[in-house]
A and B are shown apart, each in its own frame.
Chain A
C-alpha cells in the first residue's frame, strides 16, 4: 500500500479585478423586492394603472352616456349597475381612473417640483434667502389645504387643470421642509466640502452632489404625495368642485353621494377604487422607505 502524497498546493489565485460595481439604486431595488407589502402595493398599483391605460379600449362605453334607467342594480347588462342619471358605473370606474390617476400624478409632480426647488434653495444658500423661504413655506403650511384648494378651484373654475394646479399648489410644504432639512444635514458633510474644494459651482453642488443624496428621503414623501393628491381630488369632487365634463372617481362619489341608501353601488365602487389606489401607493411608499433605509439594508 502506498501512501498517496498530497498534490502540491495550487498557487493561490489572486483576483485583481474589482468587484462588479452595483449602483446604489440596484441595491435599493433588491431591498424593495424583499418587502412583501411593497411588492403587493406595486402589483396592485400596476394593475390599477393597466386598467386605466388599456381598459377604456377594451370597454369602450362612454362613461357620460346614459345607457339605461337610473339606479339599475348590478346585473348582467351593467355589471356594476347605473348611477342616478343612468350612466354605466363600470365605464365610470375604468375611464374615470385615467383622470383620477392623472390628476394624482401631475399634482404630485407639481408638489415635488415646487417643494424641491424651494427646499433646495433654502437649504443651500441659507441666511436671508433661507429666512424668506421658510416664512413663505410656513405661510402655506398654516392655511388649511383643502379649504385653500377649494378657494382656488372656486376662483378659477372647476376644470381638471385648475384642480390639478390647486392640489399641487397647496401640498408642497412638507416636501420643501424635508428637502431643506436634508440639504442642511448634507451641506457640511465631507464629500460636499471636498466637491467645493475641487471647484464645484453652486449648480454642480445642488444638482450633482446634494440633490441625489437628498432624494432618498424625499422619494417616500413624494410617493405618498400621489395618494394625497388622489384623496384631494376625491374630496374636492365630493364637495361639488369636480370637473363635471370629465369622469373621475371623485366625481362619481360626489354626484351619487345623496343616493347612497338607494343605490350603494354607485358610491361604493368608486370609493373602493380610491381606497385601493391610495392603499397601493402607501404600501409602495412603505416598501421604498425600507428599501432606502441603510440600517435595514445592512441587517439583511
Chain B
C-alpha cells in the first residue's frame, strides 16, 4: 500500500541568538498509510510538536527545515508555493491543538468558525455551511447541536471545545489529521471520550491520524504504529503493539514504566514505586554525536560511550531501534 504521507530524512534547526543553526529534529523518516494512526511519543522538548508544525509548514520564524522531504499524496509539501500550501492546510491535512480553551477565536460563534473553514475549502454558501456545521457538530457528538452552533467558545466546556476543534479540523475532509496532544488539557474521563471519538471518526471518514501524545495508554489502544522520539531523534519505531508489549530501547522502557497500572480486585498490592527516568532531555545545542540518551541510560556501557548515536536498525519485522545494546537487552 502506498503511503499517504512520507517524511524522508527531515532535519529541522533553530537559529539561535548568535545566528548559529542548532538541530531540533535530526534525520526523521516515517510514513503514514491512509486510514492508519501513527503515534509520535516522547517527553516534552523532544520535537514532537515541531514535527507537526514542519508538516504544516507553520514552524515559528526562527525555525528552518534544513533538509529532507515531506510528501503528501505524491506532492512535495516543502516545494509548494505558499498559496497552494495554504489551500492544503485545513483540506488535505488539518490539525487539532493541545489547548482547546485558547484555540478558538473568542469573538465568533462556533458555527461561524466551522462555517468559515467550509466556505474557504468547499465554497459552500452561508446557509449550506451552517447546516453542514450542524451535521459536523453532531458527528463529534455535541448534544443539542442546533443550539450550540450559536454558542460562543466561552460558553462551552473544555471537552466541548475540543470537540468543536475536531469538527473544525474535519470540516475540510482532510486525508491527514494531526492531533497534537489533543487530550493533555482535559479531564481523564473526557480524555477517553475524545480518544473514542477520534477512533470512531477515523472509521467513518477514513482519515489518517498523526497522534502526538505522551499518553502511552492511548497509543496502545489507538495507534497502529508508533515512533518514539528522544531529543529530536527517532530511537524506536514499529507496530505500537509490539513496542508497548516488548520495548527494546531503554528510553521506551523507562517511558512505559512511568505509566501507573491499576489492578482492580485481588489482594492489595504492596506499594511499588513508579519508574522514573532520572535527568532530563538535553537542551537544544547540547546534543552531540553521542547517543542522546547516554547520560540518563542505566544500561549504558563502554560501547555506548565510545560510539556515536547508532542508526535506526530493524530488530524484528516492522520494529526498528536505535541502540548499541539492542540485541543484548532483548530479553
CB contact list, B101-125 vs A, under 8 A: 102-109, 116-117, 120-121
B109 with A191: CB separation less than 8 A = no
Given contacts A194-B95, A198-B169, 14 further A-B contacts (CB under 8 A): A17-B144, A21-B109, A21-B152, A24-B152, A190-B102, A193-B103, A196-B89, A197-B89, A197-B97, A198-B116, A198-B120, A200-B116, A204-B116, A208-B105
CB-defined contacts of B116 to chain A, threshold 8 Å: 198, 200, 204, 208
Asked if B91 is at the interface (CB within 8 A of a chain A CB), the reply is yes
B151 with A18: CB separation less than 8 A = yes
Q: Whole-angstrom distance between the alpha carbons of A208 and B112 in the complex?
A: 11
- Whether A198 touches B151, Cβ cut-off 8 Å, given contacts A189-B102, A191-B106, A209-B105, is no
- Whether A195 touches B61, Cβ cut-off 8 Å, given contacts A16-B144, A190-B97, is no
Question: Of B60, B104, B148, B152, which contacts A194 at CB under 8 A?
Answer: B104
B172 with A198: CB separation less than 8 A = yes
Q: Whole-angstrom distance between the alpha carbons of A199 and B143 in the complex?
A: 27
CB-defined contacts of A199 to chain B, threshold 8 Å: 86-91, 94, 117, 120-121, 172
* Between-chain CB contacts (< 8 Å), 12 pairs: A24-B152, A126-B61, A189-B102, A190-B102, A191-B104, A193-B58, A194-B168, A199-B117, A199-B121, A200-B120, A204-B120, A212-B107
CB-CB contacts of A20-32 with B at 8 A, as 1s and 0s?
0111100000000
Tally of chain A residues near chain B (CB < 8 A): 27
A197 with B94: CB separation less than 8 A = yes
CB-defined contacts of A189 to chain B, threshold 8 Å: 102
A198 with B94: CB separation less than 8 A = yes
By beta carbon, the residue of chain A nearest B104 is A191
B56 with A213: CB separation less than 8 A = no
Q: How far is the CB of A238 from chain B (nearest CB, A)?
A: 42
CB-defined contacts of A24 to chain B, threshold 8 Å: 106-107, 152
By beta carbon, the residue of chain A nearest B156 is A18
CB contact list, B180-206 vs A, under 8 A: none
Asked if A19 is at the interface (CB within 8 A of a chain B CB), the reply is yes
CB contact list, B77-100 vs A, under 8 A: 86-91, 94-95, 97, 99
A-B CB proximity, top 9 nearest: A199-B90, A18-B147, A198-B90, A190-B102, A199-B89, A197-B95, A190-B103, A21-B150, A194-B103
Q: How far is the CB of B107 from chain A (nearest CB, A)?
A: 5
A22 with B86: CB separation less than 8 A = no
- Whether A198 touches B89, Cβ cut-off 8 Å, given contacts A190-B102, A193-B58, is yes
- Whether A18 touches B102, Cβ cut-off 8 Å, given contacts A126-B61, A199-B87, A199-B172, is no
B107 with A213: CB separation less than 8 A = yes
Asked if B131 is at the interface (CB within 8 A of a chain A CB), the reply is no
Asked if A13 is at the interface (CB within 8 A of a chain B CB), the reply is no
Q: Whole-angstrom distance between the alpha carbons of A23 and B105 in the complex?
A: 13
Asked if A201 is at the interface (CB within 8 A of a chain B CB), the reply is yes
Number of A-B contacts (CB under 8 A): 93
CB-defined contacts of A23 to chain B, threshold 8 Å: 152
CB-defined contacts of A209 to chain B, threshold 8 Å: 105
Asked if B165 is at the interface (CB within 8 A of a chain A CB), the reply is yes
Question: Of A17, A21, A126, A197, which contacts B58 at CB under 8 A?
Answer: A197
Q: Whole-angstrom distance between the alpha carbons of A126 and B109 in the complex?
A: 29
CB-defined contacts of A18 to chain B, threshold 8 Å: 144, 147-148, 150-151, 155
Q: Whole-angstrom distance between the alpha carbons of A192 and B86 in the complex?
A: 14
CB-CB contacts of A88-101 with B at 8 A, as 1s and 0s?
00000000000000
Q: How far is the CB of B249 from chain A (nearest CB, A)?
A: 31
- Whether A16 touches B143, Cβ cut-off 8 Å, given contacts A190-B102, A191-B106, A213-B107, is yes
CB-defined contacts of B150 to chain A, threshold 8 Å: 18, 21
Q: Whole-angstrom distance between the alpha carbons of A201 and B89 in the complex?
A: 10
CB-defined contacts of A195 to chain B, threshold 8 Å: 105
CB-defined contacts of A19 to chain B, threshold 8 Å: 151, 155
CB-defined contacts of A193 to chain B, threshold 8 Å: 58, 97, 103
Q: How far is the CB of B210 from chain A (nearest CB, A)?
A: 13
Q: Whole-angstrom distance between the alpha carbons of A186 and B106 in the complex?
A: 12
Q: Whole-angstrom distance between the alpha carbons of A109 and B171 in the complex?
A: 38
CB-defined contacts of A200 to chain B, threshold 8 Å: 86, 90, 116, 120
CB-defined contacts of A194 to chain B, threshold 8 Å: 95, 97, 103-104, 165, 168
By beta carbon, the residue of chain B nearest A126 is B61
CB-defined contacts of B107 to chain A, threshold 8 Å: 24, 212-213
By beta carbon, the residue of chain B nearest A191 is B105
Q: Whole-angstrom distance between the alpha carbons of A22 and B171 in the complex?
A: 25
